[in-house]
């Protein structure tokens, strides 16, 4: 990358960050940009060559050894964010357990302009989310040869890295949007709690530890401790992130609720929203027209005859001189010309 390009991009990022989008724009972003799918990053396991400052102190430019680059939030800027301080526990798998409040419907930005995404591994799912032999399976299983690198799905901070019960060696990463991703049955973890990682970083090696009947990766997505089927988020067949913004419905947190393809198609729902908005506007227009017609119908007119005076007309039409003046834009002293139409109501 040339110095000039870098400078231009730097300026772009610094000006973008100070630009607060008005609500309607945010809303259209949600509808259009949020619906976009995201292809998995090619920078899997690629080491960084350098990290450079940009014009924005919160944004860094990460240069990879293979010549590619990306913008990323500076972890220092994120360190104090509540999401990385509250319920932050490096010794328990689910620190939200004490809270125990199932989240309601929410829209979660998964990847915005500064985040990236990398499919932890794509291909056939060997075991889906849901009940299995009477036991809740809170994630999905992907066949995974022992020793194969495991990649972080999104930028974030490692919260947990330990051997624990059925999970075997488990790594949990918390992301800035509050989402947590779990990577289980690892042969070896390569990260420590507190470590910041980028999407695509090698965080561990695949394995067969814990309650596992063959080498595989157990992958979970949780929000405030509640697991939902990762297939809502990722199409594992292609490795594609389904949408930049995920609409998580409260029932996704039901342990028996598997991903259903049709429900995911929100276009119809949003088109419905758009239709409702247009219908509302039409109704309002109609009402305004009706009010106008009613006002027109209520108007009364008087044609000035010889001898008419404003005070005389005020008495005749049970109104006042000032009202007559206001309705006709005249003064009490204005001469009334015979034949002129005067609005009296
Ligand atoms: Zn599993």
Ordered by start, the domain boundaries in the chain are 21-265, 299-345
* pLDDT reading at 268 higher than 70: no
Out of 33-37, 39-43, 194-198, 260-264, give the one with best mean pLDDT: 194-198
pLDDT tens digits along 28-59:
677 777 888 888 887 777 777 788 888 888 88
CATH superfamily of 21-265: Glucose Permease (Domain IIA) (2.70.70.10)
CATH topology of domain 299-345: Membrane-bound Lytic Murein Transglycosylase D; Chain A (3.10.350)
pLDDT on residue 208? 92
Question: How far is the CA of 279 from the CAs of 271, 272, 282, 287, in angstroms?
Answer: 12, 10, 5, 12
Find the 169 Cα to ligand 1 centroid distance in Å: 13
Find the 218 Cα to ligand 1 centroid distance in Å: 4
Find the 238 Cα to ligand 1 centroid distance in Å: 20
Find the 209 Cα to ligand 1 centroid distance in Å: 11
Find the 85 Cα to ligand 1 centroid distance in Å: 28
Sign of the four-CA dihedral 223, 228, 230, 232: negative
Structure tokens at 273: 């929203």
Q: Given pLDDT bands bounded at 50, 70 and 90, which one contains residue 1? A: very low
Burial of 279 per CB tally in 10 Å (0-12, 13-18, 19+) = exposed
Closest by Cα among 159, 129, 87, 148 to 233? 129
pLDDT on residue 80? 87
Which residues make beta-bridge pairs with 38? Answer: 241
- The secondary structure of 267-304, three-state, reads HHHHHHHHHHHHHHHHHHHHHHHHHHHHHHHHCCEEEC
Q: Which residues surround ligand 1, an ion (CB under 5 A)?
A: 141, 218
């Amino acid at each position: 990358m040339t110095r000039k390009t870098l400078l231009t991009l730097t300026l772009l990022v610094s000006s973008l960050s100070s630009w607060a989008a008005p609500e309607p724009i945010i809303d259209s972003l949600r509808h259009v940009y949020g619906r976009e799918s995201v292809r998995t990053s090619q920078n899997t396991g690629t080491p960084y060559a350098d990290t450079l400052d940009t014009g924005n102190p919160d944004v860094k430019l990460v240069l990879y050894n293979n010549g590619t680059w990306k913008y990323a939030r500076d972890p220092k800027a994120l360190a104090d964010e509540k999401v990385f301080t509250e319920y932050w526990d490096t010794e328990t798998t689910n620190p939200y357990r004490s809270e125990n409040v199932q989240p309601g419907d929410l829209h979660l930005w998964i990847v915005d302009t500064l985040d990236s995404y990398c499919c932890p591994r794509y291909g056939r799912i060997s075991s889906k989310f849901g009940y299995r032999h009477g036991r809740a399976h809170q994630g999905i299983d992907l066949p995974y040869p022992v020793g194969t690198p495991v990649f972080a799905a999104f930028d974030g901070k490692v919260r947990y890295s330990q051997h624990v019960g059925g999970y075997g060696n488990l790594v949990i990463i918390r992301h800035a949007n509050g989402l947590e991703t779990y990577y289980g049955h690892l042969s070896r973890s390569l990260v420590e709690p507190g470590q910041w990682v980028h999407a695509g970083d090698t965080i561990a090696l695949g394995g067969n530890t814990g309650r596992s009947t063959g080498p595989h990766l157990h992958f979970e997505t949780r929000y405030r401790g509640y697991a939902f089927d990762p297939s809502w988020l990722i199409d594992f067949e292609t490795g594609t992130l389904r949408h930049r913004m995920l609409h998580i419905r409260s029932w996704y947190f039901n342990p028996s609720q598997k991903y259903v393809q049709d429900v995911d198609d929100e276009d119809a729902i949003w088109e419905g929203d758009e239709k409702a908005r247009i219908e509302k506007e039409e109704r309002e227009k109609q009402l305004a027209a009706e009010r106008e017609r009613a006002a027109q119908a209520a108007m009364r007119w008087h044609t000035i005859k010889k001898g008419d005076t404003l005070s005389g007309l005020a008495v005749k039409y049970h109104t006042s001189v000032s009202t007559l003046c206001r309705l006709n834009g005249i003064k009490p002293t204005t001469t009334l010309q015979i034949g002129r139409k005067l609005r009296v109501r």
